[in-house]
Every structure is written in structure tokens, then in C-alpha cells.
Structure 1
Amino acid sequence: MLNEKLKKNKIIEIAKNLLKVRLKDTINKLLLILFGRKWKIIFINEYPKCGGTWLRYMLEEALLSKGYNTNKKEIKIIKEKHILQRHWLRYTKYAYRTIVIIRDPRDVYNSFYFHENYHNPNQKYKTIFGYDERKIDKENMYSYINSKLLYPELTTPGFSYKVFWDTFKVKKDILFIRYEDLKRDTVRELKKVFEYIGVDVDEDKINEAIKKYDFENMKKKQENADGRKNHVRKGVVGDWQNNFDENTIDLFKKYYNDTIIDMKYEDGEAWGKK
């Protein structure tokens, strides 16, 4: 009886939090439309697991002395000089500056697998994905990606990465940052962002931000903050190669090969062959 009551209270709490998030999202969309340019809102938009949180943390640190605000851990109501990070298909045109961060789709879905099955497990999602605890990750990966690609509307963020890319690849006045470039030469890519935004940032400030939010430090901070498994996992470029078997590779080629080529991560269909 007590367990049932606790379960019910937990469901109510989750529902309330979800309503709060949706309400704040709605308010923020309205404020962005009305004041995005006037308030000099910087909008980091991404498909989940593309590195937007990492980029936002570094911008927040480097731009602190310039009066910029950010989301922090929870979604806040935006105000003047706010750094907004979301996963939206619309509203970017209302921001003062929009940065779209992209990542190899194979690594995105690979990272999503570990996030949704380990860091933030959801039994409903596990049922949809056909997750089997008796199987190893490489075996579960196929059913996960198959479900994720076939039914994107059933899970976060409600649309596929392909739809996200097709929506924004034709947009003008947007700065595209590749996650892989950000990993390879973080200083250069941040300088590119600051030039686009139109602010001068001392290189020492840039290096401090990079050091503070390197992946190991971010892992430690999150572990100390909540004790859960990390939202920040590995951030390794090409980690999909460790977790995709031949069936998963063939499946991904079927649905995403054209997108991977369009995004210039491959130039044909030969990838994944040993």
C-alpha cells in the first residue's frame, strides 16, 4: 500500500514538472518572438546529444563578464542577454544570433542509447525500444535504433535528426558548428562563435572556460551534484564503431546514408566495412 502511494506521488510529481517545463517553454517562445533581437538572445539549437550543453557551459563562462545569462540546470524564463539552449524546429529566426550545433548521426543515436537506457532510464521507452536486459549493448542497439528511426514521434524530442537537419540546412544567418570540430580545436571554434555574436573575448577567458568544462571536470561536477550516472558520458568522436554490429550498420545505411553524405560525414556507402 505504501509503495503504491509512493508510486502515485512520484507520477504526480513528474506530471507537475512536465507541465512546468511546457509552460516555461511556451512563455520563452513568446518572449523570443517579441524580444529576441532587442534583448540580444543567443540561441543554441541542437538535436539532443550533439554537444549543445557543453557549448552553452563554455559560452556562459566566457561571457559572464559581458552580462550574459543562461539556463543553468533548469529551464528559466529568458531575459535580456540570455543564452538559450533548446531542441526546437522553429523560432530560431527571432533570436539575435542562432548557433546550430551538429554531430555525426551515428554518434548521436549511439549516445542517445546510453542516455535513455542507463543515465535516464524510462520503462515506457525501453518497452518501445525492445530493450532486453539479458542482451549486451551491441545486441540491444539494433532494436533501439530501429524503433528510434521508425517512431521518432514517440520519444524525445518528438522528431528525427533527419528532420532537424533538413529543416536547418537551408536556413540563412545561422552559424553551424560541428561537434567534431569543437572537440578537435575548441579555441578556434569558440572564437568563431564570438566573432559571429559580435563580442570580444580575451583568449585567457576562452582557455579558462575550456579548462573548467572539459569532459572529465563536467563528469566530476555532475557526480558530485546528483550522484547519478553521467549525462556527460564519453563524448568520443566515432564511438558508434564500438557499438554498431553489421545489422545495425545496414539498418542505419537504409534510413540515414543520404543524410550522412549530405552532412559530409561520409562520401558513399562503403563505411562500416571491415
Structure 2
Amino acid sequence: MIKPDLNLPARPAMRGRIAWAMRATSAKVNYEWALRRPGKPPFIVLTEYPRSGGNWVRDMVADALQVPAPRFSMFPITFRAIIHSHDHRLIRGHKAIYVLRDGRDCFISHYFKNRNAARSADAGIRASILRHHPSLNGKLSDEAEMNAFFEEWTRRASGSRANWATHVTSWLTNTPPNVTLFRYEDLRSTPEAALAAGITQLKGSPAPDEVIRFAVLRNTFEVQTGRKPGQTDETSTKRQGLAGAWKQEMPAGLQDKFAGRFGRALELAGYRI
């Protein structure tokens, strides 16, 4: 009788599923630890609604604080670091960062990112996107597709268990002092001043000017992409790097629909309708 070789390597697909499950579990454990045992974890929690600029802000803050920002860790984080989440549940009593961006820009960014992914050569990626957003199956005109995507996005966009209004309302209603707010638009218009103010709140003392300048320059859109803000690459997850692009890219009727659906949240977040 031939004995099976138990030392054979796992199939690539199986290894991928195991790695994905480990990363997802690790991220959940990190967040639940901070949520349920505030003050105990050694890390700072950064959360955002997807496409709010969280990766960019995470890397700038990590550079300014001189701490790691581990991505896709298969194990829970047990050291001083910045961890990144999209969870909408407000964390009290533990050092946290909330990244805020105009929901209309989040929508536009989410739409183009998912539309590009839905046209991916990877069948698994396509299936994952179309499960949340069947409107991106390529059968609709551009405007009809964006309108249909909006209806899906308002219920539950890929990457978040809550829609934009629920997410920002959770974090901006009676925000506790343990939460430092970084606004995307401020970081685009006055990056050094906005980053310095946030770091001072996080640390309780200011960071040296040269450290802030280094963190900003190391993470500019130009350095990350080789393009200037506004130069569009439809295939990139960093598509434009602009604030306010929704005014040109969202049809007028959809702008009105967004304001009608999410006007209260826009006002709470400090954005003009």
C-alpha cells in the first residue's frame, strides 16, 4: 500500500484561502481587542470609510511617529504600530484615528476602483466585485451604471459593513477625546499643518518640523504614482489624488440624489450640500 506524502506543499489556491482567512481573523482580533479592552493594545487604531485616503494617512502618521504600519498581517499585532481598519464601530478610551472625506468623493473613487476591478482578468476578483455590485457587469451605459452602482453603494459597498452616512455618523456624533480626526481635504490643501496638528493631538506634544516635512514629502501623490494630482490613471487604485472631483464626475441628478439621501451626514461632517 502506497502511503500518501503528507509533506506535499499546499496547493496555491488553498494557501491563498488560508492566508486570506488568517489576515481577516488577525484584523478582526486587533479591532475587537481595542474595542473591548481599550488602553490595553499597544497599537493605534486608524479607521475610515473605504476610499477616504486611509492608506495615505496611515503611512504619513506612521512616518511622523516613527512606528511601523503593518499591512496584511497574518497574526494579531502585539507591538507599537498603526493598524488600519474600515470598521464603523466607535472606539472609546483607546487611541484612535478617524480619516474623514467628503462622501461624494468616496463614492466616485469607489465607483471607478470597483469598475476597474470588475473588468479584471482575474475571475475571482470579478466575482467578488459583482457579488456586491452587479451593476458593473458591463451591460449598462456609463450614466445608468453609475446610478445603479449608487443604489448598491448606499446599501452596502464592498469593503464596509455600513454605508457612508452610518460610518461617519458613528464616529462624529459625540466624538470622544481619544479620537484624532484627519480630514482628507485639509491634508491635500495644507498637508504639513494638518498632519502636525493631528500628531500633536496624538502625542500630546508637537513633532519636529523636519519630521512632519519628511512624512509629507515621502507620501506625496507624485512620489507614490509618478503623476501630478489630477492626472488620471483609470487602472490605478490611486486614480487622481484630488479633493472635490465629484463636482465634475458625478451627474447633476446623482448629486441631488446624494444630497437627498445623505444630506444630514454631509452637514454633520462639515460639507456643503
Equivalent residue for 1:117? 115
Q: 1:233 to 1:169 in 2, by over 3 A?
A: same
Residue of structure 2 aligned with 1:166, choices 169, 175, 200: 169
Equivalent residue for 1:108? 106
Query: Offset at 1:81?
Result: 1.7
SS in 2 for 1:196: helix
CA contact (8 A) 1:219 1:233 kept: no
Residue of structure 2 aligned with 1:37, choices 36, 39, 43: 39
CA contact (8 A) 1:28 1:78 kept: yes
Equivalent residue for 2:83? 84
Deviations 1:223-271 (A, max 9, x none): xxxxx942222121111122211332232123112222222211x5xxx
Q: 1:237 to 1:26 in 2, by over 3 A?
A: closer
- Normalised by the size of structure 2, how large is the TM-score? 0.79
| Alpha-carbon distance between aligned partners in 2 of 1:20 and 1:209, rounded to the nearest angstrom | 31
Q: 1:123 to 1:243 in 2, by over 3 A?
A: farther
Counterparts of residues 76-225 of structure 1 (less than 5 Å) = 77-90=76-89, 92-95=91-94, 97-119=95-117, 122-126=126-130, 128-133=133-138, 137-149=142-154, 151-152=155-156, 155-170=158-173, 171-173=175-177, 174-198=179-203, 199-220=205-226
CA contact (8 A) 2:180 2:202 kept: no
Residue of structure 1 aligned with 2:63, choices 57, 61, 77: 61
Aligned partner letter, 1:168 = W
Matched, 1:243 2:245: no
Deviations 1:190-210 (A, max 9, x none): 111221122542211211121
How many pairs does the alignment contain?
A: 247
Q: 1:29 to 1:260 in 2, by over 3 A?
A: closer
CA contact (8 A) 2:43 2:81 kept: yes
Deviations 1:30-49 (A, max 9, x none): 54357752554222111111
CA contact (8 A) 1:44 1:101 kept: yes
Structure 1: 5+ residue stretches without partners = 1-8, 222-227, 269-274
Deviations 1:201-220 (A, max 9, x none): 22112111211110121125
Equivalent residue for 2:231? none
Matched, 1:231 2:230: no
Q: 1:208 to 1:145 in 2, by over 3 A?
A: same
Aligned partner letter, 1:51 = G
| Alpha-carbon distance between aligned partners in 2 of 1:263 and 1:70, rounded to the nearest angstrom | 27
SS in 2 for 1:92: coil
CA contact (8 A) 2:87 2:161 kept: no
- Normalised by the size of structure 1, how large is the TM-score? 0.78
Structure 2: 5+ residue stretches without partners = 1-10, 119-124, 228-233
